[in-house]
């Protein structure tokens, strides 16, 4: 800022005319360098402390209930923002979080299920997913086909709890969209 402030009146301020070669100048630069390094060293703990090491968040892997307790078709698990699909004894789970900006998508069911082939994958589609925030749309197996969503909806790994026989969703593990858990 100092230079923009200076009026062009032919008077040169000494600090503007190159590096000061005296011992005083050198010591001044040395002090500035030490101060800069000191500021960085002091600033690091301040910033690093704001990056949490322990997260008190809900677990990424959780039980959702007995397989028999879910109806045929689709169930939305509100608290986990997951759509659980059941086709007799075959289960799979699709994330309800829009891949655009994280709103919760809504399932818009067809009046009748229809056979669909999306990206060389044939399946029985029950409906589509629509996002309320920016109008993204996804096919019944998760592929984005309209709006700004950049990726298909994530499919999560499912397994049976060996202890209780309940379904366990692992939202930390993505699976291909043809993943099915048969119980």
Partner 1 sequence: MNLFKIQDMWQKLIWPWRPESNREAGSGIVANFLLHWFPNRVSLRSLAFSASLYLGTITFIVFLVLTVTGVVLMFLYIPSVERAYWSIKDLDNTVSFGWLLRRLHRISAHLMVALVFLHMFRVFLTGSYKAGEIVRSARPFNWVLGVTLLVLTLLLSFTGYLLPWDQLAFWAITVGTNIAAAVPLVGEAIRQFLLGGTIIGQPTLIRFYVLHCALLPIVLFAVAAWHMWRIRKDGGLAIVEQDRKDALAREPVAPKKSKTYSVLGIASGTTVQVNDPTTLNEDNSVPSTPFLIVRILLITLLTVAVSIGLSLVVQAPLEAAANPEVTPNPAKAPWYFLGLQEMVGYSALMGGVIIPTIVILGLMLIPFLDREQKGIGFWFTDGPGRKWGIFGFLYGLVTTVGCLAIALLAPMRDIFPTIESQLFFDLVNPATFLLLLFAGMYFVVLKKTSSTRYAAIATFCAFIIAFVLLTYMGTALRGPNWDFYWPWQAWPTHPTAL
**Residue from 63, 67, 87, 133 binding partner 1 (CB under 8 A):** 133
68 counts as binding partner 1 under rule CB under 8 A: no
- Which stretches does DSSP call E strand in the chain? 61-65, 73-77, 82-87, 90-95, 106-118, 121-130, 137-138, 144-146, 155-160, 167-175, 181-182
**Residue from 13, 19, 112, 182 binding partner 1 (CB under 8 A):** 13
Q: Which is nearer to partner 1, 27 or 101 (CB)?
A: 101
**Residue from 22, 24, 41, 78 binding partner 1 (CB under 8 A):** 78
Helix (H, G, I), strand (E, B) or coil at 80: helix
**Residue from 64, 84, 131, 158 binding partner 1 (CB under 8 A):** 131
Indicate the length of the chain as a whole number.
Answer: 183
**Residue from 67, 118, 147, 159 binding partner 1 (CB under 8 A):** 147
Cα–Cα dist 138/127, whole Å: 9
Helix (H) or strand (E) holding 154: none
Cα–Cα dist 130/110, whole Å: 13
Which residues form the interface with partner 1 (CB under 8 A)? 1-2, 4-9, 11, 13, 15, 50-52, 55, 57, 74, 76, 78-79, 81, 100-104, 106-109, 119, 127, 130-135, 145-148, 150-151
């Amino acid at each position: 800022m100092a230079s923009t402030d200076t009026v062009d009146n032919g008077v040169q301020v000494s600090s503007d005319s190159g590096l000061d070669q005296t011992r005083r100048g050198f010591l001044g630069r040395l002090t500035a360098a030490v101060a800069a390094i000191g500021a960085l060293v002091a600033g690091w703990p301040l910033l690093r402390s704001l990056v949490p090491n322990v997260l008190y968040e809900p677990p990424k892997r959780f039980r959702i209930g007995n397989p028999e307790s879910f109806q045929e078709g689709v169930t939305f698990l509100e608290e986990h923002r997951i759509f659980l699909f059941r086709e007799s004894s075959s289960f799979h789970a699709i994330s309800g979080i829009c891949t655009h900006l994280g709103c919760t998508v809504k399932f818009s069911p067809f009046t009748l299920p229809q056979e669909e082939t999306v990206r060389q994958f044939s399946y029985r589609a029950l409906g589509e997913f629509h996002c309320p925030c920016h109008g993204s749309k996804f096919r019944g197996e998760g592929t984005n086909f309209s709006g700004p969503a950049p990726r298909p909806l994530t499919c999560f790994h499912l397994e049976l709890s060996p202890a209780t026989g309940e379904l366990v969703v692992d939202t930390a593990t993505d699976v291909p969209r043809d993943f099915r858990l048969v119980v």
